[in-house]
Structure formats: C-alpha cells, structure tokens
Chain A
Amino acid sequence: MVDTQCPNPQELRDYALGRMAESDWEAIARHVESCPQCQAVLATVDDVADTLVARLREPPPEDSFIKESQCEAALARAKYAAAAGASAAALPFTELGEYKILEELGQGGMGAVYKALHTKLDRVVAVKILSRGRSGDERAIARFEREMKAIGRLDHPHIVRAYDAREIGGMPVLVMEYVEGMDLGRLAQRLGPLPTAEACELVRQAAEGLQYVHENGLVHRDLKPSNLIVTPEGTVKILDLGLARFHFDQPTGEVTHTGQAMGTVDYMAPEQASDSHAADIRADIYSLGCTLYKLLTGRAPFETKHFRGTFEKMTAHVRQPVPPIRDLLPEIPPELAVIVQRMLAKDPADRYAEPAEVVAALTPFCTDADLPDLVTRAMAQQTSYSQPLPGLFPRPSAASSPRPATLALRRRTWMAWGVGLLMIGGGIGFALGILITIETDKDGKTTTKIQIPDQGRFPTETTSMKPDGKTALPGLAIGNKTPLEHGQRLCVYRLRHIVADDAAIIISSLLLSETPRMATDVKTNSLVIYCDPSEIKKIGALLETIDQPNPAASDYRKEEKGKARVPPEPYTIAPGDSLKIQAAGTLWDQPINGVYRVEPQGTVALGPVYGRVKVAGLSLVEAEGAIVKKLREIITKPAVSVTIADWVPRSKSKQPPPPHRIAPGDILSIWASGTILDQPIHGPYLVEPDGQVTLGPVYGRVNLKGLTFEEAEIVVLEKLKEILQKPSVSITLEGWRTEEKRPVQEGTINKEPHQPPLIPGLPPGAS
C-alpha cells in the first residue's frame, strides 16, 4: 500500500541517479517499492546525460603500474609508514590490528612505542612499531619472530614481558607489558649524578633480571640506561630483549643506518665492535658497567668531548682505558670503584662471569636506597616538555586524542618544593632578548626598529620592511600572514632559558584578559607578540623575569650535601615572588607546570577563568594545599571564557567594535574545562548562519547572536551545565549490511545538522 504521495518527476529522476541526500533517499525508496506508477516513471529516466555515470562509463586511463608487486608493497608500507618514521609525527591512525593506540610513549632508535589497548582482551599494553630497512626482508622477520618466541616465555619481575611479536600491516610489531615508570636514561638526564646507594640498587636489580636472561640462554646485546625502566614503586625492568639482534642483522644496514638503529655506542662492549654476534652475557655485564658509571657520574665512560663520533667511541671501548671513576668522584668507596672497573674490563674473561656475581658485589652498597623517592623526584623534575602550543587559540583539537584532565598534584617533600621554587627578582631593564618594533605608517609603509638592549642602553637601528611583510632578520619570517594594523607593534623576544611555548603559556596566564596575540618561533626560540605599544614594556619586564636559568636542573648532589639554594624556612609567600608550580595534568590542554608570578594582590592565576588563588602570606606547604584545592575546583567546575578568535568584518575597520556583539560567521574561542562525549570542549566554534553555536552533537546548540562575550559566557556555561548533567544520546546510521535488512532512517533521533562521518564503516572482513 502506498502510504505517501508520489514524488514529483524531478525527485524520481534524482532517485534514479542517486542524486539526493541520504536522509531523503529512504523515504522515496520505500515509496517506489510499492508504487508501480513510479517504477514506470523510473524506466523512462535517461542516465546518459549524468556526468558521474558518463565518467564511470569511460574506460579508466591505462595503468599498468598498479599491477606491479612493488605497488602493493608500497601501499602496505605507506599505511603504517608514519608509525615507524623517525619524526615524532602523530600517528595517522588509531588502530593497529586489534590494538587501539592510546598515546605515544616515546620514540627510540628502533621505533616508536605507544600505549595501546587490546580491544578484545581489554588489556593495556605497550606496542613498539619497529623501524626497519628499506626493503622488507622476510628472513629477518622470520628470525625476529623465532627469537621472540624464546623471549615470550620469559617471566621475571625484572624483565618487561613480551606478549606478542609479529607483522601487522607490513610492520614488525612488538607487544609488551605496559610498565608505568621512567627509563634510566631520562632519570639520569633529569637528576644528574645519582647518590651511590640508588645508582647501585638500580643496577643491582637490572643484574638480577639479566641473570635470569642468562639462565635462559639469551643475551640482551643492547643494554643501556634507556633500556632499563624503573617503576614508581622502585622496580627496575629490562626492556627490548632480542631487538638488538633484529637490528644488527638487517642486511641493508649500512654503517650509518646501523648507527642510527643502535642509537648510541656509549654502552657497547669492546667485543661487539668487531663482531656483534660473538657477544655473550659478559658483553651485557660490560654494558651494565657503563650504565652504572653513567648513573654515578652523569656520563658514560667515553661520553666526553674527546670521543665524539661513533667510530671514535667504539675504538675507545676497545683500546682506551676507562677514566677511573674516583678521578671524577673521589667520594666513591674504593671497593665500588673496583667493581665498576671489573665490569668494564676490556677482556670478557676479566669481567664477572655472570650477572649474579654483579648482584652479590653490589648488594652491600645498596642499603638505604630509596628508589620510590628517586622516581618521584625525577617525575617532578620537568626539564622540558614537547607539547606544541599552536599559538594562543588552540586549533580544533581533533588531532589530539582526548586527554583526561587528571589531576594528581603530588605531595612532595620540602626538598622537592625547595628545588621547585624560584625566587625571581623584578629587575628593570631588558637584559635579555631582542626587542623588535615594527611600526606601520598610515600609508602602509613599514619601518622596523631593532632595539638591542645593552646594559640599559637601547641602540636603535631602523630598517625598512620588505614588501612581503617579512622582517630582515633571519629566522623571523613573520607577519606575512597577518598584516599589521597601523600603530600595532610586533615584538620579538628571543628567549634564552625557557622554551618559547612555555613563555607563551606563562604570559597568557599572567596577563589573563589582556592577553596579546602571540606566536612562537621554534627555530629561534622566539616569542612573537602583537600588542599595543603601551604594553611592550610590561610584557618585556614579565618576559625578563620568566626567562631565567632554571636552577632546578642543576646538580642535585650539591643540595644533598646541604648546600641547598632554598629560602629560609618557614618562608612566607609575598607579592612579586615567582612560584614554580609542578603539577600533573592539564588545564585547557596546556600543562599546569610552569612559573607563576604572585600578583600584587597576592594571588596566582592558574587559568583564565576562576583561576586565581590567594597565596600571599602562606607558607609553601600551605600554598600547595590551596593550589590543589583550586585546581580541583577549576577542573570539576565547567568554566567558560568566550573570546573572539576571528570575526566577520562588518565595517571597514577590521577591529571588532567594542563591545563586540556576536554575529553569524564569527569564530569564537571558547575556553572551558571538561569534555563532551570524550572531546574537549575548548576550541574555536563557528557562529552558524542562524546565530547558533553547536557545543555538542546532542542538545548542544545555543543561540549567541547579538550577545556580548560576557553574556555569551553565561549562556554557554548554563548550556554546558545542562549538557553535562543530561544523559544525551545520539544515534545515527553508520553502516548497514544488506539493502533488504537496512534499518529505517526515520528512526534516527539526531535531528541536528551535524551528520556523522559520511563514510560508513566497511562491512566486517572488507578491510
């Protein structure tokens, strides 16, 4: 029975040729099915004139290349190529076989490591995608899989378990136990030379694991600090067993390639220089000796300027005597120096015969070792981070995986806070950086004044700006995208001690609402600020206080001896102090870590909204508590800040007339904590033609047309509260099996204009 009116001839024609929205299609299909008249009309539709049909009927261009076997191989490699790329490029995919990639854990010489979830077993693992030579060598893969079988059987507290090793999508993949912790390479990098007991305990545990490896007839061949991981509980685990062989045996491995694959030869035994295959467990003992040397002194035996290249270092391992450790560290007990010396003997026969002997020898030096404390300290010590900050307005964060805003501000000892606290004076005068002022004349001519501060003097040099808007300074190709307004100034600060991204975050948190537009230039580590001329000095002074050497990165050993550079306790925080706050987690996707200035009113601004917390008059420990409380509040409270990221010019002036009234076409930058359907809320939003902004796919639209930012903030906040409290459901059609069983589109609940991705999932087995 026909339950609807017949479509008009044009609609039928569009149906015949599939030229319509998917949502309309179902209804017509259902109608036509039961309407003979319409079917008769369909028979008359001529499809020859349709461009798509015409194109499909053309024979495709001759393409014999696509049938070549290399083409297929190339595609297989390209699909996963990015994973093994040397650059830390974001993975272009989120699934690898049955593993769902969660986050990148690191990039090593042998490939990238990701935290991943086994979707069927619901188990979190670490997945290493191994890089390999130019062409896939099946024998190498076969050997790799064979070796991994042996390694997969190993089960020991000091060894990272291997669960699976095989080829997925053309890439050799190793699936391992996921271990939370820090590798000793990074630990040493952050803390510098370690106290004797801790260094010995780390190596002792590694030796225990190595003994087990040895008893199972295996050799590691590439032991080094970065292959040893220590958990927050203080357990050391050996990583990457069996991988060295896989890499050394690459047939295509030229010297440079092998060098890259191995990463470093600082820990390589002399006998491995001539023949890596000959190495036995005593080579691992040598490598462990180098590791101990590194942990105690801060550098590996030949990690000095005298032995720069790979070749020099390898030769040194073979010929040069190891610099006696007591020359570097006289306070090392002579007995320990002897142990190190014996581990580092040139002739394997002169070393300990097996790792168990190393365990026994080191044990007496390990008493009082507090590894959990060591790890806590190392984790608190953020020397740098590599979180790129794309200017002040974050891009739509589609590319960034949802990061839970976990807050775990660690309670630390006074020591940690002592190290973390910097006292920064508020000196005047641009002692650091270069200030470039670009002034635009009314007629569009631009002059560039370069002011190089020198002990309070400001020699000024004036050059003209190139017509393309680029400055004459190398490395500063800026301004070509955004023409400067008349009177606007562009300041470029070259930073010496702090990463420009960090500086941008700190500046934005210090200046809050008057935050200027900023961009960072990674190449020159410069911060480019577009601002009102009146603000240049203020920002310059701020930057100067921020851009200070970080004493926290200096030798920890000194503090251990009681020469701590910390203010007298109890210290009371006062306005003008700078606090270095170290806290896990992020606010608006930006790390909380950073230096915060105590504002004149005694507050610290942790974030742009509701972010001020009063700390003046408190002790450091009290301040810590207050900050934790505030951070919790910020993170749980939906806080909204609406500013404009771009606007539709409605008058000749490109500046938004104050107060700006939101209009369709505006792009709003909404800052808010929290997530909707696992996606961060903050980001740019387009004001749609009807004045609505879509905050989320369900119940998520708010009308902001004609509102000021302040009003919009209230409206958005209310809407967010509503969304976050209401269980919201959106069901859309993403795939179907057969046409007969296809579900009826009318049942779709989501009437929002936001459609799901247009590409339905392929049917099972198709991919």
Chain B
Amino acid sequence: MPRPHRDSISTTLLDLVKARHSGAWQRLVDLYGGVVYRWCRQSGLKAEDAADVVQEVFLSVASHVAEFRRARPRDSFTAWLSTITRNKIRDCFRRQADRPQARGGTQAQQRLLEVSESDPSSALEEWPRAADIVDAERILTQRTVELVRLEFEPHTWEAWYKTAIEGRPAADVAADLGMSLHAVYKAKSRILLRLRQELASLHGETTNPSPLPPEEGSHQSPLPPGEG
C-alpha cells in the first residue's frame, strides 16, 4: 500500500516508479525503451551505440525521476524523455568525434555535430519535432496494448480484437468463438477500459524535471500529450 497520497489524482506509472513499486521500473523500460532505442537509431547511431545510449538515458531517468514535480500541464514525460535522449545522443556523437579513429559519420551525425558546435537553438535543439512525439505516442499506445494483452486470457483478447480492432459485429464474433454474446461485449468493454486506464496512467502524470543537470533542463515546450 503506497503512502497516503497528497491528492486524489489517479496513481500513474511514474508515481509508481517514484514509489519504487515493484515492477514499475521494469514496466517503464518495457514501455519506453523501444521508443528511446528508435530515436537513437533514427539519429544515425549504430545499433551497439544505440544500446549504450538507451542504458545511459535510463540511468539518467532513474536518478532524476524522484525529483519530478508537477508543473506545466503541457509537459509530457515523453517530451522530457526525448530531451534526455537528445542530450545523450549528442554526448555519444561527441565522444565518437573525440576518438582519434573516428569514422566518417553519417549525414545525420554531421548535422548533429555541426549543430551542437554552432548554434544550440537550431536543428538539434529543435528535435524532437511534433511529428516525432506523435509517432512516439503511437508506438507507446501499441506497446501498451502488447503489455495489457498479457493480462487477459487469449479468447477474451481475441473477442476484443475482432470487435474493437477489426470492427466485426459482436454476434458474429460470439458465434465464431463459441462465446456468449455478452461475454464478447464484456471482453470488449473490459479491455478498452483497461487500456484507457493504462494510457491515462501514462499521460496523466505531467511532469517537469526540476533540478536537472543544466543541459538537460532546457527543453523546449513540448507537445501536449496525446488524448488519453
């Protein structure tokens, strides 16, 4: 049982992570890890380097997550995460540039380097763009679906999938799966409810990192989180 909450806003995944609720951290990584990895790869990092940066990003999240405070409602965790990721990617590129035998570098890498050396407010600082965040939120939704799936019996899930995703009439699905009509309705309702909860838990917590390391604290106003 968590300590008495200060207010009645629903407990979110980030709250659970801060409370070090068992499994919450692993779930956070499960949810967001793929997105962070994708960002790294999109920036032009090689797979091995991307894996390293993912680890660094989550190390940073782990040591700062407790300092989160609710601030501007427009700030989303995803946007904050992208800021950390951006900084870690830049660090990684810098390290590579410092290596004597630095390899040629992709276009993206060149761009990032030039940008970071010259004007901090140009392209690199502007990443993530709105579209990147939207993409990330969509992947997160997908990932949430995959994780929620583990909580349900296969036939319940199938009934939900055929009705909610494929859009088939409940009666057909009931006949197909040999379930009662109501069981199909119930499956659809239950899983949609569960997904809404889970997505609300992701987006409900709007955070602003307060005492971040200087360079990580300066992120542009991110997009509002997707509708939960």
Contact of B22 among A93, A396, A700 (CB under 8 A): A93
Q: Residue of A at shortest CB range from B153?
A: A738
Name A82-138 residues within 8 Å CB distance of B.
Answer: 82, 85, 87, 89-95, 100, 134-135
Contacts of B90 in A (CB 8 A): none
Tell yes or no: B219 within 8 A of A by CB: no
Encode contact with A along B172-189: 1 for CB under 8 Å, 0 otherwise.
000000000111011111
* B47–A398 touching, CB < 8 Å: no
Decide yes or no whether B167 CB sits under 8 A from chain A.
Answer: yes
Q: For the complex, what is the distance from the CA of A71 to the CA of B182, rounded to whole Å?
A: 41
Partner of B59, one of A20, A85, A401: A85
A193–chain B nearest beta-carbon distance, Å = 37
Q: Is A686 a contact partner of B6 (Cβ separation < 8 A)?
A: yes
Size bin of chain A's contact surface:
35 or more
B34: chain A residues within 8 A (beta carbon): 63, 65-66, 71, 75
A77 touches B54 (CB 8 A): yes
What mask results when residues 21 to 41 of chain A are scored 1 for a CB within 8 Å of chain B, else 0? Answer: 010010001001100000100
A148 to chain B, nearest CB (A): 25
Task: List the A side residues contacting B37 at CB < 8 Å.
Answer: 65-66, 68, 70-71, 74-75
Is B199 a contact partner of A52 (Cβ separation < 8 A)? Answer: yes
The answer to whether A51 touches B170, judged by C-beta atoms less than 8 angstroms apart, is no
Interface stretch among B9-17, B103-111, B113-121? B9-17
Q: Do A759 and B198 touch (CB < 8 A)?
A: yes
Binds A, one of B72-80, B122-130, B135-143: B135-143
- Per-position contact with A for B62-75: 1 when CB-CB < 8 Å, else 0? 11011000000000
Report A100 CB to chain B, min CB distance, Å.
Answer: 8
How many angstroms between the C-alpha atoms of A760 and B24 in the bound complex? 11
B192 and A53 within 8 A (CB)? yes
Establish whether residues A759 and B4, one from each chain, have CB atoms under 8 Å apart when the complex forms: no
Interface size class of B (residues with CB under 8 A): 35 or more
How far, in angstroms, from A683 to B12 measured CA to CA in the complex? Answer: 20
Residue in B17, B20, B167, B201 with the greatest tally of chain A CB atoms within 10 Å: B20
Residue of B nearest to A87 (CB): B63
Whether B167 lies near A667 (C-beta < 8 A) is: no
Q: Which residues of B contact A766 (CB under 8 A)?
A: 150-151
Q: Of the candidates B10, B16, B19, B153, which one forms a contact with A739 in the assembled complex, judged by CB atoms under 8 Å apart?
A: B153
A57 at the interface (CB under 8 A from B): yes
Complex alpha-carbon distance, A658 and B194, angstroms: 48
What CA separation (Å) do A131 and B98 show in the bound complex?
25
User: CA A676 – CA B7 in complex, angstroms?
Assistant: 17
**Bound-complex Cα distance A757 to B14 (A):** 11
Is B41 part of the binding interface, using a Cβ–Cβ cutoff of 8 Å? yes
Most chain B CB neighbours (cut-off 10 Å) among A58, A63, A753: A63
Among B10, B50, B61, B186, contact of A33 (Cβ-Cβ < 8 Å): B186
Taking CB atoms, residues of chain B closer than 8 Å to A90 are 20, 62-63, 66
Report the Cα distance A63→B41, complex, angstroms: 11
Question: A18 near B: Cβ within 8 Å?
Answer: yes
User: Which of B8, B19, B29 makes the CB contact (< 8 A) with A78?
Assistant: B29
With CB as the reference atom, state the residue of chain A lying closest to B5.
A754
**B55 with A762: CB separation less than 8 A:** no
Contacts of A43 on B, CB cut-off 8 Å? 169-171
CB pair B20 A29 closer than 8 Å: no
A61 to B136, CA, bound (A): 9
Please, which residues of chain A bring their CB within 8 A of the CB of B190?
A: 18, 25, 29, 739
**Known contacts A82-B62, A685-B4, A39 near B182 by CB under 8 Å:** yes
Distance in Å from the Cβ of B10 to the closest Cβ of chain A? Answer: 6
Contact call A22/B197, Cβ cutoff below 8 A: yes
From B2, B8, B150, give the contact of A763 (CB < 8 A).
B150
Instruction: Determine if A81 is an interface residue (Cβ-Cβ < 8 Å).
Output: yes
Q: How far is the CB of A473 from chain B (nearest CB, A)?
A: 17
CA distance A19 to B54 in the complex (A): 35
Given contacts A56-B141, A730-B1, contact A81 B25 (CB under 8 A): no
Residues of A within 8 A of B151 (CB): 760, 762-763, 766
Alpha-carbon gap, A706 to B44, bound state (A): 60
If A17-B192, A398-B3, A757-B2 touch, does A82 touch B59 (CB 8 Å cutoff)?
yes
The proximity string for B residues 199-222 relative to A, scoring 1 for CB distances below 8 Å and 0 otherwise, is 111000000000000000000000
Contact B62 A66 (CB under 8 A): no
Residues of chain A within 8 A (CB-CB) of B198 are 758-759
CA distance A91 to B61 in the complex (A): 11
**Please, which residue of chain B has its CB at the minimum distance from the CB of A53?**
B164
Q: Does A150 contact B (CB under 8 A)?
A: no
A374 within 8 A of B: no
Cβ of A547 to closest chain B Cβ, rounded Å: 25
Interface contact A61-B139, CB-CB below 8 Å: yes
CA distance A758 to B17 in the complex (A): 13
CB–CB A399/B66 < 8 A: yes
Closest to A91 in B: B20
Determine if B186 and A74 form an interchain contact, defined as CB atoms under 8 angstroms apart.
no
Interface 1/0s, chain A 236-269, versus B by CB < 8 A?
A: 0000000000000000000000000000000000
**Alpha-carbon separation in the docked complex, A42 to B37 (Å):** 42
Contact in complex: A18, B8 (CB < 8 Å): no
Whether, in the assembled complex, B51 has its beta carbon less than 8 Å from a beta carbon of chain A, the answer is: yes
Q: How far is the CB of B5 from chain A (nearest CB, A)?
A: 6
* A467-491 vs B, Cβ < 8 Å mask (1 yes, 0 no): 0000000000000000000000000
Q: Write out the residue numbers on chain B whose beta carbons fall within 8 Å of the beta carbon of A600.
A: none
Q: Which of A66, A68, A679, A686 contacts B7 (CB 8 A)?
A: A686
Measured between beta carbons, the chain B residues less than 8 angstroms from A39 are 181-182, 185
- Complex: A401 Cα to B21 Cα, angstroms: 11
Is the C-beta of A694 less than 8 angstroms from some C-beta in chain B? yes
How distant is the Cα of A760 from the Cα of B11 in the complex, in angstroms? Answer: 12
A73 proximity list for chain B (CB < 8 A): 51
CA distance A626 to B139 in the complex (A): 63
CB of A653 within 8 Å of the partner chain: no
Give which listed residue, B13, B170, B194, B226, contacts A42 with CB less than 8 A. B170
The reply to whether B16 and A18 form a contact with Cβ atoms under 8 Å apart is no
Report the separation of the CA atoms of residues A683 and B2 in the bound assembly, to the nearest whole angstrom.
14
**CB-CB nearest in chain B for A81:** B55
Besides the contacts A135-B48, A398-B3, what 14 more A-B pairs have beta carbons closer than 8 Å? A18-B191, A18-B194, A19-B193, A32-B182, A32-B185, A75-B33, A85-B63, A92-B25, A169-B26, A398-B19, A399-B66, A755-B11, A759-B197, A767-B23
Taking beta carbons and an 8 Å cutoff, which residues of B are in contact with A? 1-8, 10-13, 15-30, 33-34, 37-38, 41-42, 47-48, 50-52, 54-55, 57-59, 61-63, 65-66, 135, 138-139, 141-142, 145, 150-151, 153, 156, 164-165, 167, 169-171, 181-183, 185-201, 226-227
25 contacts between A and B (CB under 8 A): A18-B191, A39-B182, A48-B167, A58-B138, A65-B34, A68-B37, A75-B37, A81-B59, A81-B62, A82-B63, A85-B63, A90-B66, A398-B2, A398-B15, A398-B18, A398-B19, A399-B18, A679-B4, A754-B8, A756-B11, A758-B200, A759-B197, A761-B23, A762-B150, A766-B151
